[in-house]
Every structure is written in structure tokens, then in C-alpha cells.
Amino acid sequence: MSAAEAPGRPAAGSGGESPPPVLTLTMNPTVDICCDIDHLVAIGKTRAQVRYVAAGGGGINVARGVARFGGRATAVHTAGQEIGQRLNRLLDEEGIDHLAFRITGETREAFVLFETESRRSYHIVPRGPRLDDDEARYCLDLLERAAGAHRYVVASGSLPGGLRDDFYTAVARRVRRAGSRLLLDTSGPALRESLHEAVFLRRCNRSEASYLVGRAVHTFDDARTVNEQLLAAGAAEIAITTLGELGALCSTGQGHMELHAPPLPGEPLSDAGAGDGMIAAIVTRLAEGDDPVDACALGVAAAAASMLTPGTEPCDREVAESLRPAVRINRLAG
């Protein structure tokens, strides 16, 4: 399923093979252009070596990660104009199953610069196109028709201009109506507005969690406060707050689990793909029948492994699985 679609018209099926268990949604995808440079200069030209060009954006990165972990996923995404056509070609060439929803605005390009002298990464991301009300409605219709064939739906990433802040609330309702489970990973007003609708799993990083509670989130105790609020409000069955180098807190109605991040076997290069790598590992293992805590433990290992790769490159599966035994799990009392 790869050709760009007319608004509101789903792509044809992919044949006799059963649909993948995971569907991902990316409303504001990118074409990621990742380059190596010696160092940035203020005057004159900075010479660059292109490392790779790939389709990107939250849900697309998750679909790629699911494949890395041995699962199968279909990516639903917008695609507009010339860059949107390039996005589709890149996904086709990579072999990622996808459903493109054609929009009138142009898909954005993002740039990842890895400075070899400082070993730092810079992720430069434009805002992207604006969608109108008809495009938003058609995309929701396409998502609902597609979601019923998949056990899990992952909505990840920012929203493009023109969409209401409660767009992911509408996504949650459509996914539930289709009989699927939604994993949501977003930020800002879209995150706050989405709390009005229950989802299966929510992931927040420290910045997003701080935004929700109005104060800094640094520790596992801080994360517990956030997760308890999400569970008490009925906003999630599983709440995960990530704490960077500390790890993550995974909370359900049965209690809270601290998952301490493993020591890195190398120098951290970038955290740009850590969240998507985590969600990819979690949803892959959930689809295989693992319980949420075990799935989240691999997610923490995947996030750590992602930091060993520059830019938005997905983590190495073997590295993530080798780090999993070092993820220390501590069940909290009460």
C-alpha cells in the first residue's frame, strides 16, 4: 500500500497476507536529511557529507522500529506535493508498508547535522504544512477504516498547522470505535486536550510531563505523581513517564514499576530517536503477548540503544536486546 491517495479514499489491500498487528499515524511526517560535518561555521560554507535520507516523523519512525524488532506495521501518513512524493518513494524503497493521504500543502524536510569534532547532533525541523478541515476529517475517516484490521494503533508526533488541538481526542474516539487499542505519544496543547479521552497507553517524556503538571519532573517520585494523575483521570490504562538517563516509570492499575536505564556501552550521540524506539519496542512486544512491564523494559533498553546512533536512525535490535538484562526493575509499594 504505497501510492498517494485521493482524499478520503483508502488504498487497496496488500493481498492475501493478514494485516500487520500495528498501525501507526503520522500527521506531520518529514523527509530527514542527515549529514556529517566537521563543525558549524558562522561565516562561509559548512561542507557536509550526507549520511542518509529517509522518511521520518513519529509514527513512521515507530513503524520502522517495529520492523527492526521483528514485527509488522503499516504507517498511515500525510503526503503533499513534491516532497510528499519523495516521502512515498523512500518508504517504498525501504519496504515499509504504508497508506498515504494526499494533502495540498507540501510535506516538510528536516535536517540532522552531526558535528564530528564535538560529537553533537543538531535536529532542525520546520513546522510543516497546514491542513484544512476537510483534510482533517478525511484523514480521520481513513484512519478509522484502517484501524479495525489492526490490534494496536500508535499515534506519534506533532500536529501540522490547521488542525485543532483536540485532534488526537478525535483519533482516540475513532480508534476505540474501530475496536483497536491506541498508544499515544505527543506534546503541547495536543497532549493536554487529548486527556479528555481514554487511551490504552500514554508516553510522556520529562518535558511533556512537566507541561502537564506545571512543575519540573526530575525523579521517579515526580513521575509517579504524573502517572497517578493520568490513571485517576481515566486518561490511560498504562502511563509511562520517561526520565532520560534515569529510565522510566511504568504505571497501571496494579501499581508502579521503576525501570532503571542500563549503563551505555558507548558515548551517547543523540536522543532524537529514543522515544520512537521505545514505543516501537513496546508495541512490538505487546503485539506478541508480553505484559506491559516486560514490554516497557525492552522499551527502556531500546531508548538507551537509540542514543548510540546519531540523528534519527533507529536503534540496533541486537544492542537493545543485549541491554535489556541490565534494565533494573523496582516495584514501588503502595
Mean pLDDT, range 298-303, rounded to an integer: 97
pLDDT value for 1: 40
Give the percent of the chain with pLDDT over 90.
81
Instruction: Characterize 267-305 residue by residue with b for buried, 16 or more Cβ atoms within 10 angstroms of its Cβ, and e for exposed.
Output: eebbbbbbbbbbbbbbbbbbbeeeebbbbbbbbbbbbbb
Contact predicate 156/30, CB 8 Å:
no
How much is the pLDDT for 272?
Answer: 79
The 10s digit of each residue's pLDDT in 226-267 is 999 999 999 999 999 999 999 999 999 999 999 999 999 888
pLDDT grade, residue 106 (50/70/90)? Answer: very high
Three-class DSSP labels, 9-71: CCCCCCCCCCCCCEEEEECCCEEEEEEEECCCCCCCCCCEEEEEEEEECHHHHHHHHHHHCCC
Looking at 132, 276, 290, 294, which residue is catalytic? 276
- Residue 11, pLDDT score: 37
pLDDT at 28 over 90: yes
* Catalytic residue list contains 276: yes
CB 297 within 8 A of CB 279: no
How many Å apart are CA 13 and CA 24, to the nearest integer? Answer: 16
Domain 4-10+19-331 has CATH 3.40.1190.20: yes
**pTM of the predicted protein model:** 0.92
SS3 assignment, position 119: coil
Q: Nearest Cα to 12, choosing from 145, 206, 210, 160?
A: 145
